[in-house]
Amino acid sequence: MKIIDTANHIAALAAKMAKPSVVAAYPITPQTTIVERLAKYVENGELNAEYIRVESEHSAMAACIGAAATGVRTFTATSSHGLLLMHEMVHWAALSRLPIVMVNVNRAIGPGWNIWSDSNDSMGQRDTGWIQIYASSNQEVYDSIIQAYKIAENEDVMLPTMICYDGFILSHTSMPVYIPEQSKVDKFLPEFKSLWSLDVDKPITHGNIISPADYMDVRYSMNQAMKNAKKVIIDVGEEWGRKFGRSYNLIEEYKCDDADYVIVSTAAIASESKFAIDKLREKGKKAGLAKLRVFRPFPKEMLRYDKMIVIDRAVSLGLGGIVYNELKGNGDVYGFIAGLGGKDVNYRDIMRIYELAEKGKDGWYGIEVK
C-alpha cells in the first residue's frame, strides 16, 4: 500500500505496526503529532496498548523503563529540550539493557528559542549507550522504526534505539511511503521475548548498589553490545531488503568508487547532498556521498576515503563538528559546520562547500567570520 503523509504520522503508523504494549506520551514541538496520532490509534482500538499521559519527558522515559523492565515492548517520542530533560533516564534505560525505541525529531536547543532542525539534541546523547539511526526520508522513518525493534531486541544487543530526523524538514512534510501488510511486518518482527523481566511472583533486585568491579563489567558488556550492533544492523537491513525491497546498512554510498572527494553527511543534508553530487558531476567534478545513517555505533571503519568533506549540523563548542571529530585521522578530512538552528542548506550551498574544500578551506559555513 502506498500512502502520502508527514514523517510524524508515518512514525506513529510504524510504531503502531510494531505493536508496543506501552506508549508513554508528552508533547513537544515538532514531535507532538506523533503521540497525538498514537492516542487516536489507541482510542479507536487500532492499537492495543497502555497509553500513559505523563507530566514530563523525564517521566515518559521513566514509564518506558518501568514497562520494558516487565518484559513488554515500549515506544515514546520527543525532541530537543524534551530529550535533554530525559537525560538521566536515557542513561538508565541503556544501563538497564532495555530495548526501548524512541523517535527524536531533531530541533535546536535554546535560548534563543528555535523550533527548527539541529542535531545537537541527539548527538549530545552520543555516549549514553543508545543506538542512533538518522533518517533522510519519510520512507526511511517507517522502515527504520520497524527495524529498530528487531535490532534493539536482539539478544546480542539489548540496547535502546533512537530514530532521528529533521524537524519540519521531514516531520511536517508529506511524502509517498510504501506500507507493507501488517501480517508481513508481524513475520519480520515477532512478539518480543525479553531476556529478563521483573515479576512480583519471582522478585529480584535490579539497579541497586553495585561494586566498582561489577560496574566496570556492566560498562564493558554495553560496549561489546554496541560493537555487536553493527553486524545486527547490517543483517536486519539486508533481511528488510529481501522482504520489502529496500536494503539498509550503516552508511549509504553514492558515486564513491571514483570520487576525488566524498561528502559525509546525515539526515536531510545527506538527501540534499545527493542532488549536489549530480550537479557537481555535471561540472566535471568527481564528487561522491557517504550518507551516515547510523551514528552510534559509529562505523568509522567503513568511512575510509582519501579525501572527505564532513558537513555537520551539530557542533562540539571549541572543538568543531561532531562527526568531523569522529573521523579525524581517517584520511584527509575537511569539516564544515552548517545549518544550525534550521538555517537552510541547499544543494548550491553543498556545491560551494565542496569547492571550498578543494581549495583547502573548511570551518563554519554561512556566517561572516570576524
| Amino acid code (one letter) for 28 | I
Looking at the whole model, is its pTM more than 0.75?
A: yes
Among 194, 217, 244, where does a domain finish? 244
Task: Look at residue 278 and tell me whether its pLDDT is greater than 70.
Answer: yes
Task: Look at residue 164 and tell me whether its pLDDT is greater than 90.
Answer: yes
Share of residues in the chain with pLDDT > 70 (%): 99
Specify if 370 maps to a domain: no
Name the β-bridge partners of 252. 291
Residue given cell 529481501 in the structure block: 242
What average pLDDT does range 98-123 have in this prediction?
98
Q: What whole-number distance in Å separates Cα of residue 332 and Cα of residue 330?
A: 7
Specify the pLDDT at position 208: 87
Q: Note the pLDDT tens digit of each residue in 243-269.
A: 999 999 999 999 999 999 999 999 999
- CA-to-CA dists, residue 1 to 37, 111, 120, 144, 180, angstroms: 19, 42, 35, 18, 6
What average pLDDT does range 182-194 have in this prediction?
97
Specify the pLDDT at position 257: 97
Binned at pLDDT 50, 70 and 90, residue 67 comes out as very high
Nearest residue to 61 (alpha-carbon basis) of 130, 124, 3, 1 = 130
Task: Look at residue 64 and tell me whether its pLDDT is greater than 60.
Answer: yes
Among 244, 275, 296, where does a domain finish? 244
Strand ranges for 92-243 from DSSP E: 101-106, 131-134, 161-166, 174-178
- Give the range of the structural domain holding residue 298, as residue numbers without chain letter: 251-364
CATH number at residue 302: 3.40.50.920
**244 with 143: CB under 8 angstroms?**
yes
**Total count of residues recorded for the chain:** 370
Please indicate, yes or no, whether residues 155 and 259 belong to a single structural domain of this protein. Answer: no
What average pLDDT does range 42-54 have in this prediction?
98
Q: Note the pLDDT tens digit of each residue in 8-23.
A: 999 999 999 999 999 9
- Preceding peptide of 190 cis, ω within 30°: no
Specify the pLDDT at position 337: 98
Task: Look at residue 271 and tell me whether its pLDDT is greater than 90.
Answer: yes
Q: 358: burial class by Cβ within 10 Å (0-12, 13-18, 19+)?
A: middle
| Total number of domains in the chain | 2
Task: Look at residue 298 and tell me whether its pLDDT is greater than 90.
Answer: yes
What average pLDDT does range 132-158 have in this prediction?
98
Please indicate, yes or no, whether residues 219 and 265 belong to a single structural domain of this protein. Answer: no
Specify the pLDDT at position 286: 98
What average pLDDT does range 182-186 have in this prediction?
98
Binned at pLDDT 50, 70 and 90, residue 207 comes out as confident
Among 193, 217, 244, where does a domain finish? 244
Give the count of alpha carbons within 13 A of 208, CB side only. 3
Cα radius of gyration rounded to whole Å, the chain = 20
Please indicate, yes or no, whether residues 237 and 166 belong to a single structural domain of this protein. Answer: yes
Specify the pLDDT at position 369: 59
Specify if 301 maps to a domain: yes
**DSSP H or E stretch at residue 53:** strand 50-53
- CA-to-CA dists, residue 35 to 87, 102, 104, 190, 264, angstroms: 20, 11, 12, 23, 32
Binned at pLDDT 50, 70 and 90, residue 277 comes out as very high
**92 with 102: CB under 8 angstroms?**
no
Share of residues in the chain with pLDDT > 90 (%): 94
Q: What is the mean pLDDT of the chain?
A: 97
Q: What whole-number distance in Å separates Cα of residue 81 and Cα of residue 57?
A: 9
CATH number at residue 196: 3.40.50.970
Q: What whole-number distance in Å separates Cα of residue 72 and Cα of residue 68?
A: 5
Specify if 369 maps to a domain: no
Please indicate, yes or no, whether residues 187 and 256 belong to a single structural domain of this protein. Answer: no
Task: Look at residue 370 and tell me whether its pLDDT is greater than 60.
Answer: no
What average pLDDT does range 91-102 have in this prediction?
98
